[in-house]
Amino acid sequence: GQQLNQSPQSMFIQEGEDVSMNCTSSSIFNTWLWYKQDPGEGPVLLIALYKAGELTSNGRLTAQFGITRKDSFLNISASIPSDVGIYFCAGHGISGNTPLVFGKGTRLSVIA
């Protein structure tokens, strides 16, 4: 089945630093999504991308849908302590009604 490779697995950064994480796939995706999951909670959608090349921002978060449709990245600028959590990329393949496929997550820790 489709798999997403997400990197890095974990990051430790200082408050105020910028963060970048990415996701790659061996197959083409029609939709790329970025979620954040806090401990004991379900994932919450941060950004959704629908077209190749699309660059979308949500506050300090910026994500892009790769031109090849096989990758996406998420940037967080000027990190703050509440950015701590696990960030997941996810995507839908090109066939209609394919299930959402998730990466393994990037665990972000912010040192104040």
In the complex, which residues of this chain contact other proteins (CB under 8 A)?
Answer: 4, 30-31, 33, 40-45, 48, 50, 88, 90, 92, 96-97, 99-100, 102-105
Query: What does DSSP say about strands 10-14 and 106-111: parallel, antiparallel, or unpaired?
Result: parallel
Tell me the sheet residues that pair with 22: 7, 73
- Tokens of residue 52, six digits: 């190749």
Please say which residue, 37 or 75, places its beta carbon nearer to other proteins.
Answer: 37
Distance, C-alpha 111 to centroid of its chain: 21
Please say which residue, 37 or 77, places its beta carbon nearer to other proteins.
Answer: 37
Phi, psi (5° rounding) for residue 22?
Answer: -140, 170
Please say which residue, 42 or 59, places its beta carbon nearer to other proteins.
Answer: 42
Residue with tokens 């697995």: 9
From the CB of 33, what's the least distance to other proteins, in Å? 7
From the CB of 32, what's the least distance to other proteins, in Å? 10
